[in-house]
Structure 1
Amino acid sequence: MELTPIEFKKDTEKIIPYSEYPYAVYVRISTDKEEQMTSPENQIEICRNWLEKNNYEWNDGSVLYDEQSGTVLIDRAAMQLILEKARRREIKMVVFKSISRLARDLKDALDIKETLISHGVRLVTIEEGYDSLYEGKNDMKFEIFSLFAAQYPKTLSVSISAALAAKVRRGEAIGPAPFGYKIEGENLVINEEEAPTIRQIFKWYVEDGYGFKSITKMLNEEMIKGNVSRPRKKDKWQVTSVQRIIKNPTYAGYFVHGRYTTVKQNGRKKFIENPREKWMVYENHHPAIIPKEMWEAANNKRMKKVKTKVTPWNEFRGIAKCSECGSNMVIIQTGNKKNKGGHWNYIKCSSYRRAGQYGCVNHAPILYEDFRELIIKRLKRKGKNIKLKLESGIVQKRKNEIAALEKEKLSLEQKRKRLIDLYLEDGLISKEEFQEKRKQYEDRIREIEDRIFLLSQEQNTTKEIKTIEDAFQQLENIDQDLYHVFKTLIDQIIVHPDGKIEILYKFKV
């Protein structure tokens, strides 16, 4: 006798309550582009439509989304909450629009799937039509779509690069026009008002032998007289602007495509320069402002003069500011024969360093080592004289919120217990009233537990130095890099031209 499996007919009329079949709807925004700003609404509507078509009760509280792009899984708090809910057996299904919303990284997508399914959670991706309930142990479909999702940005990048390369071959301009040029139609043409300044810069550098700083000074002097054009993005000429112009082959009629690319390291995108073999150089792409021979002479001269120089490590980067212009204070190195081949490190206003007196004023010389020692002494003195708060404001705020939530949770649990007494022992409320009120308490308790988890996740992903106390303790190890210590304790250091130093602290004095 041959046995056949029993077929269960689906009751198309019955709506499955959320309380009986809790699920999560996951939404993620991958970029800050304008077309993505409506993406959360679109993703939610697609998921809601699928759920209602399949007779599941819609619940607004089921939606969890990461509002910022998270290329590293640990940085995506909402996904971490979903995985935690799966481990606690609090959800039975996760629904999302497409695998690209779940993860762009193949390894992350497979890890998420494995965690959810191993805890009995059904996985549904609507766009690809994948449903783990029906796919069983067949992972190939999910893996293929995950691979496509991971490959899509790369394929798109190649297509865009090919389209841009085609435009360049046709002699069309891509990107903004550099100083000295303007775009007319699709082509780069010479801006006759700015071009004389470019020619003057190359003449000073190649024919007259002036250096970058001297050229910057002369440009600012001539700009005041009206003899050269003002730079587009700044009020004054700076050394870096002159350097970029000298090194830019655009001024000799060349166009370089594919010079830079992005790579992913530890889940983060990084902008790097490609090897020269990968550059696509187009000669006579547009009218040249200077002869090719002059550009080559300028850059050959530059190559001979430049020596490899390691920029000193600045533990006050982004913290120390000039009192006059607000620019960062940077380190400059000087050396002479008296120092027997060594050097001294001084802090200097970055605007003055780039543009001289046209950028800012010259500060009194302060040795970096003396500056660092002074800041450490002041911090240690503050640490002894003030009553330390154990944690920084942001961490304390989270702890306060967690404490308040835990207090509310305890109160709700006590109310739920009293509710049982009112129903079972005193008989003061009906069964319907008891069930309704108990559901309200339990729903709120779950919301509180989710919020506590998210806050705990935020605490767990903070940097090593979490508290003011930790930072003060690390001040004793002065031989180590103290950047994160200074960043934790100090909001800003104001450096005045006469050498006076003001410190604005992050903790209350």
Structure 2
Amino acid sequence: MGKNQKGGSCIANIAIYLRKSRADDADEPVEETLERHRKTLLEFAEKNALAISEQNIYKEVVSGDALYARPEMLRLLKDVEAEKFNAVLCMDIDRLGRGSMAEQGIILETFKTSGTKIMTPVKTVDLDNDADEDYTEFKTFLSRQELKMIKRRLKAGTQRTIKDGGYIANAPYGYEKTYRNKKPTLKIKEDEAKIVRLMFRMYVEEGAGCQMIAETVNAMGARPRRSDRFGRSSVMKILKNNVYIGKIVWNQKTHLRKGSGKTIAVSNPKEKWIITDGIHPSIVDEELFEKAQEIFERRHHPPSYTGRVENPLAGLIYCKNCGGLMQRQVMNRSPEPYLLCQKKGCVVSSQLPMVEQAILRELARQLRELRAKQRPEQQTDHPYAQTLDSIDSEIRAAKKQLDAICELLERGTYTPELFLRREASIKERLAQLDSSRREFAAKLSVKPAAAMSERIEEALRLYPTLDAQSRNRLLKSILERATYYKEKDWKPAQFQLELFFKPLYL
């Protein structure tokens, strides 16, 4: 039996937790740092006669201070809680985590409750010992304070870089990252910059809309950074981005972390924005940019997303011609928004309220048909019920046949080739029987029609009293999707709609 660094008996069932921290060399790759730490800890374990298997080494290769962002720590805590280990060996207690007080509390409480010790090359900590517990809590407190100071310095450094004209975010379309006097900034990527200039000229000088601009640059072979095609929204973002006149806008959004660990972005009011002169070159001149902003102010555009759905048909209507999702758009000189396909020249658009009312009319028609089909519940002596019994008997027989041929294969009576042919034939027969059973069961049962009619009736009753977002949710509770089609010479209220209901009755 070996001795540990305290001079006592060695501890069996040891795990190793590896994680890179800010104290390590920032330029060294994570894998190299973790491998170096792994060797150090294994040497320590060997000297202290601690046997550690490879499967009990937890390597945290992802970055992040928050507990939810460290999958290996979460896996380790689960094993610690299950009392799988007597101790966990790490380079320093800080490696286990120095995030929020609540998260550190979760980690330490898990170790204490399970009786698992924390070992480092310097000290072994037993959280059942009051002195060790006080030592650990004090050390984690100091770690939290250090982390806060590091984050404050990073934030101050970021703000100073921005105020000095540096650019620290991902390079926007038309630029690529570079450095000037050791400051991060941008340089022009000419093949993309010419597309940006074309967008501004088309919008200001030719009066083209964002959708037309997107179609034009797509046809020229231009591609955005993170998708296959430019769209109306991506063009609009470029035309509104101050970076193209050499400015830097910061603090446009605040990122909030929710309890689930997810981060949401909330737009800040313009008075909270930080706008500075960048040290990067501009792609368009200020006069052209300001003219574009004036046009934006005069034109009607769909409002930016505010967290509320403005379109009651959002995510429901698809173009039957190209399969693309139809979108709501406010048109000039029109009091009503339109529903249109984003692919230029695909299908003719219609006023959204007309399409909405057509859907409601179709729902009312479906309701009348469902009510007409409802009748007293069928008795067990109905021919359909007898047919179902016969089909069930055949299904049971076919399944017994499957079991039989499996047994014949195991005995060697059937060759693999013969078995596969017989299996395919029986499975095809089973599929036909299942299809027939569903068909007759639907004809026999009246409950599905009643349930569907109740749902539609309730939707039609509530619909006029709801806002756009609630209407959208209500329609999505009934409809899977709908397709839209319209020819050029058709009348304003003339179009084809096909509704696909959710299988509420299956």
TM-score by length of 2: 0.52
Q: 2:100 aligned with 1:78, yes or no?
A: no
Identity of aligned residues (%): 19
| 8 A Cα contact 1:314 1:330, kept in partner | no
Deviations 1:204-229 (A, max 9, x none): 54566x47xx24315634775x6xx8
Q: CA deviation at 1:254?
A: 1.3
Structure 1 pair 195–120 and aligned structure 2 pair: CA distance change class (3 A): closer
Structure 2: gaps spanning 5 or more residues = 22-26, 368-387, 389-450, 463-469, 486-495
Equivalence for 1:410: none
Q: Which amino acid aligns with 2:247?
A: Y
Task: Tell me which of 29, 46, 52 is aligned to 1:52.
Answer: 46
**Could you tell me which of 315, 328, 332 is aligned with 2:328?**
332
| Aligned positions of 1:285-324 closer than 5 A | 285-299=279-293, 302-303=296-297, 311-312=308-309
Q: Which residue, 245, 249, 261 being the options, matches 1:252?
A: 245
* Secondary structure, aligned partner of 2:46: helix
For residues 152-231 of structure 1, the aligned pairs below 5 Å read: 155-163=149-157, 174-181=168-175, 186=180, 188-189=186-187, 195=193, 197-206=195-204, 210=207, 214-218=209-213, 220-221=215-216, 224=219, 230-231=222-223
Residue type of the alignment partner of 1:357: K
CA distance 1:274–1:156, change in 2 (3 Å): farther
Q: Distance in 2 between matches of 1:43 and 1:304?
A: 62
Partner Cα separation in structure 1 for residue 326 and residue 94 of structure 2: 42
Separation in 2, partners of 1:336, 1:204 = 18
2:13 matches 1:22: yes
TM-fit CA distance, 1:239? 1.1
Verify: 1:137 aligned to 2:100, yes or no: no
One-letter amino acid matched to 2:115? G
The amino acid of 2:68's aligned partner reads V
The alpha-carbon distance between structure 1 residues 118 and 295, as it changes in their structure 2 partners (threshold 3 A), is same
Please show how residues 86-165 of structure 1 align to structure 2 within 5 Å.
86=83, 91-103=85-97, 104-124=99-119, 126=120, 129=123, 131-132=125-126, 136-137=130-131, 139-147=133-141, 149-150=143-144, 155-163=149-157
Larger Rg: 2
Aligned-residue Cα RMSD (Å) equals 5.9
> Does 2:344 align with 1:357?
yes
Distance 2:295 2:323 in 1: 35
| Aligned-partner residue type, residue 142 of structure 1 | T
For structure 1, the 5+ residue unaligned runs are 1-8, 378-386, 388-471
The whole-number CA distance in structure 2 between the counterparts of 1:254 and 1:344 is 35
Q: Distance in 1 between matches of 2:216 and 2:332?
A: 30
Query: Distance in 2 between the 1:29 and 1:159 partners?
Result: 20
Distance in 2 between the 1:221 and 1:273 partners?
31
SS in 2 for 1:288: coil
Partner amino acid for 1:299?
Q
The answer (yes or no) to whether the contact 1:216–1:238 under 8 Å persists in 2 is yes
Partner of 1:281: 275
Q: Indicate if the aligned counterparts of 2:245 and 2:283 stay in contact, CA closer than 8 A.
A: yes
State the 1:27 CA deviation. Answer: 5.3
8 A Cα contact 2:215 2:344, kept in partner = no
Q: TM-score if structure 1 supplies the norm length?
A: 0.52
Alignment partners' CA distance in 1, 2:147 and 2:268:
19
- Which whole-Å deviations, capped at 9, do the CAs of 1:56-112 have from their partners, x for residues lacking one? 2334454467787773399865245235324xxx64333334445433332121233
C-alpha distance in 1 between matches for 2:286 and 2:170 = 22
Deviation at 1:249, TM superposition (A): 0.9
3-state SS of paired residue (1:240): helix
The verdict on how the C-alpha distance between 1:499 and 1:370 changes in structure 2, with shifts beyond 3 A counting, is closer
With over 3 angstroms needed to count, the CA separation of the structure-2 counterparts of 1:169 and 1:218, relative to structure 1, is closer
Shift of 1:285: 3.2
Deviation at 1:114, TM superposition (A): 2.7
Conserved 8 A contact 2:223-2:230: yes
- Report deviation, 1:244: 0.9
> How far apart, in 2, do the equivalents of 1:180 and 1:109 lie?
44
Question: Corresponding residue for 2:233?
Answer: 240
